[in-house]
Structures are given as structure tokens and as C-alpha cells.
Amino acid sequence: MSELENKIPVTILTGFLGSGKTTLINYVLKAFHGKKVAVIENEFGEVAVDNDLIVDAGQEIFETQNGCVPCTLVSPHSYNSKVRGDLVRILHELIEQKRGKFDMVLIETTGLADPGPVVQTFFMDKTVQDAFQIDAIVTMVDAKHFQQHLDSEELQQQLAFADRLILNKIDLVPEEADQKDLIANLSAINPSAQVIKSQFGQVSLDEILNIRGFDLEKVLDREPEFLRNDEACDDNDCHDAAHNHSHKRHDISVTSVGIYLPGELDFDLLNGWVQSLLASSGQNIYRMKGILNVKGEEDRFVFQGVHMMFDGQQDRAWRPDEDRTNRMVFIGKDLDREVLTNSFKSCICFKPAIVVYSLPRQEAKRCIQNVIPATQPAENNGHRHRNQFRCDSATTILQASTCSFAFGKRYLDVILLNFQRLLFHGESGYECDIARNDHAGRNVYECFAKRDSIFIH
Ligand SMILES: Nc1nc2c(ncn2[C@@H]2O[C@H](COP(=O)(O)OP(=O)(O)OP(=O)(O)O)[C@@H](O)[C@H]2O)c(=O)[nH]1
């Protein structure tokens, strides 16, 4: 067996934000091709989402930690940084611990990455170089949107490095003549790469895997400095031949805002929010994606947006032990973190709550209003209840000492079923009031303690 045949083939999958890389990976993993694939994911964005969107096909999935592998590779300082180390570490781990358990490696680079530095990794670490062989660089191209990002240095590099260009999303450019124009544009940028048309990444796997398409000589012809392991110069106007200009940082005006938000989302509010967000800032939001917990749904809701196009779909069911925190990431220009976070928060369904307090009524009301504004005395059939307050339609505040009897006798089931949150007011005193058994013999306080309780002091 030749040395080349002994090496593990690596496919580097690149492509601009939202072009369909994850879609292609899922297609590859689901398609029968008799190969075990180790997938390495690298995301740009504060909140990791992609690794969770890869189908569970019994494959090994690795994730490089935070940020952008390529842009941390550009200087010697960052070359040794943790993120860069991550990719090498994962490759070493594959060789040392998983050898024989996979046949090929698929690396998904971030949509904002120049793939060059990832490629360099395979020539700069001896162990990696001995074990792996880049098979091909496959670049996904979003047929609808790629032309509007052609001034991006990263996209140009992604196109230039490609051994195969997949012109994806052709369903969004249905006219044959338009498709021909796009192919001609791509071929002008990279004449040596074969262009393959696709919809949702469905391509013949023989055309992209194990094709031995990568040719270092071709890269060096284009970029003679490619394998120079010295600090890259970031100055776009610098023409000093002594400097390494082979790779530049990505456009720093493109940033990411990631949001973790506990709670259940109201679907209608979510829908309205997305529409108004895109109407006001759609031009600047290149990419949105999220895994969301929509009220009343047992399945995860996966939200995807690429420029003005968005869709949401039910995904697999939430696992019983899974944290249902909503995860959302935005990537784009001039993103306003506060506006995005607060507007996203406004889609959360109000959690019904019950507040139990042990202070005199007026004092308790003042304290509670600090925590929950708009607290009003509760009304029932037009009558005000002395010891109950209503913050809004879903929150009831009860005084522990006076309501404990009612809890015990009549209301426990109603409370446990209808109130997700229990706000206790006061440090002590009320526990004994409600530490009694209800009519079914259950300890009321213990039942409450299992709820999502908040203590207001
Ligand atoms: N209409 C259409 N949509 C597509 C096609 N391929 C992918 N999509 C959608 O485009 C969106 C982005 O797809 P992904 O596969 O997540 O793209 P990506 O390149 O991995 O995105 P990033 O990792 O964020 O850069 C998703 O909503 C996909 O369902 C296609 O051929 N046609």
C-alpha cells in the first residue's frame, strides 16, 4: 500500500454563512456510503448551534472551541493559541485514540473563514502530516446570495481554494439561464474547480469524497507564501514583499451576538419579532440560527435565517434530561446586542407564578412590586381579596399565613398544575404555615419546594 493510501483522507468543507454546509454534512452522514466519518465542526458565533444540528448517525462529532480557527492562525501568537491547538489536538486524538474507528475526516469551517490556515495545519504539524491527507476542499456556494458577498476576502478565498464548487440552493434560482451565468461567474473566479449544482446539498458523493482533488502545487502557484509559518501582515495596503500577506483576518465589522434565554417562547410573538427584525435590520443580519423551546411543543424548534429568508422547523424531541434553554445566534454587521437580546426576551411566554409572603399586606406589596411591577389587588367576581394580589393575568400573590389553610384543603392541585413558578416572600415563618398535609396527605411545603421557586427578601 502506498504512503498516500495509508493516510486518512480529509475533506475540508467551506462556504459562506448559510450556504448549506451543515445541510451537506447531514446529507453525507445519512447517505449510505459505507464509511465512518469523523466530523470536526468549527463555528463562528458566541453560542454553538451547528454541532447540535448535525444528525445523530453514530459518527464522531468534534467541536473546536469558540471563535474562528482560521483567524486565530494568522499570527504566530495566535497560531499557538487554544483554538488553533484545538484542531491539532482533535486530530492527534483521532490518531491516538480512534484510529481504525473512522475512515475519513470532514472538517466544516466557519462561514467567515478563509480556509487557507486550516489547510496549512496539515503541513505544519508532523504527526498530522504523517497521518492525514487532504482529499479535497469543497466549497458550498449559496446560489441566491453569494454575489452580494463577493467583496468579502473570505468568500474569495473559499472560492479560490476550492477543488469542487457546489452551487447549492438552485431551487432559489430556477431559471436555467441564470444558473448558467452563476456557473460562468464561478468558473471565472476558479477555472480549475468543477462546479456541481445542488439542492439541499444533494450531490453524488463520488463527486466530492475520496476524489484526490487537492493539489498543493496548485495552491503554491497561486500563493507562493502559503506555507510560510510567520506572522501574517494584516495591512491590506502593505506591499512589502518581506511580509506574509497570504491570509488576512476576516472583516472585523462582522460580529456575532449569542443569546441564551431560559423559558418558553410564544410562537406568535416569535414570528412577529422575526418579521419586524428583518424588516428593520435584515440587510445587516447575514445569519440567524437557533434551537428554541416553543411553548406547547415537545420537539425542539430549529430556527434558520439567511438574510431575508428564514424558516423554522420542528426537530427531534427534547430529551428528558436536556436543558431547554433557548439558544440563538446572530451574525452580521453593526449588530446591537442590547436591542437583539431585549427584543428576543419579549417573545418569552409569561410564566405563571404564585407569590407567597409573610409580611403585612402593604409592606409585602411594596417589596413584591420591586420585583414584579404592576402588582394589583386580585379581583374575583368584582370583589377584591384582601390578601391576594394580581401582577398580571398569570401571577397570584398570596399571604402564606392566611392561605395555607386553603392550600391544604383545596388549592394544591390547582397551584401545582397551573403555576410554574413559586415566589416565596419572607425568610421564615411561612414554611410552618404551609408545612402541613393536604387532604390527600401530601406535604404542601415539600410539593412547593420542588417547583421553580424564587425567594424575595
Ligand atoms: N431553499 C434552499 N434552502 C437551503 C438549501 N440548502 C440549505 N438550505 C437552508 O439554508 C439554511 C442554512 O443552511 P446550513 O446548512 O445551516 O448552512 P451553513 O453553511 O451550515 O450555515 P453556517 O454554518 O451558519 O455558515 C437552512 O435553513 C437550510 O435549510 C437549498 O438547496 N435550498
Best probe residue, ligand 1, of 12, 14, 16, 22 (max atoms within 8 Å of C-beta): 22
Distance in Å, CA 172 to ligand 1 centroid: 12
Give the residue among 312, 248, 257 at the shortest CA–CA distance from 284. Answer: 257
Give the residue whose CA is nearest to atom 13 of ligand 1: 20
Best probe residue, ligand 1, of 13, 14, 23 (max atoms within 8 Å of C-beta): 23
Half-sphere exposure for 215 (CA within 13 Å, toward CB): 10
- The pLDDT value recorded for residue 303 is 92
Q: Is the distance from CB of 375 to CB of 456 less than 8 angstroms? A: no
- The pLDDT value recorded for residue 288 is 92
Taking the chain (457 residues) in runs of 10, the rounded mean pLDDT of each run is 73 94 90 80 64 61 47 36 67 85 87 81 88 96 94 90 96 97 95 96 94 91 75 50 49 80 86 88 89 93 90 91 90 89 79 48 54 44 45 44 41 44 43 46 54 42
Q: Do the two domains 3-222 and 257-345 of this chain adopt the same fold?
A: no
Q: Is the distance from CB of 19 to CB of 142 less than 8 angstroms? A: yes
Strand partners, 291: 302, 327
- The pLDDT value recorded for residue 360 is 53
Distance in Å, CA 24 to ligand 1 centroid: 9
Distance in Å, CA 202 to ligand 1 centroid: 12
Q: Is the distance from CB of 138 to CB of 163 less than 8 angstroms? A: yes
Q: Which amino acid is at 408?
A: G
At the topology level of CATH, where does 3-222 sit?
Rossmann fold (3.40.50)
Residues 6+ apart with CB under 8 A from 1: none
- The pLDDT value recorded for residue 2 is 54
* Superfamily for domain range 257-345: CobW-like, C-terminal domain (3.30.1220.10)
- The pLDDT value recorded for residue 307 is 86
Q: How far apart are CA 402 and CA 413, in angstroms?
A: 18
Distance in Å, CA 23 to ligand 1 centroid: 6
Give the residue among 29, 222, 189, 213 at the shortest CA–CA distance from 108. Answer: 29
Q: Is the distance from CB of 333 to CB of 375 less than 8 angstroms? A: no
420: cell is 410554574
* Residues in the ligand 1 pocket, defined by CB under 6 Å: 15, 17-23, 50, 111, 140, 168-169, 171-172, 199-201, 287, 289, 304, 306, 311
Residue extents of the structural domains in the chain: 3-222, 257-345, 353-456
224: cell is 507562493
The pLDDT mean for the chain works out to 73
Per-residue pLDDT reduced to its tens digit, 209-240 = 999 999 998 888 888 877 775 545 445 455 55
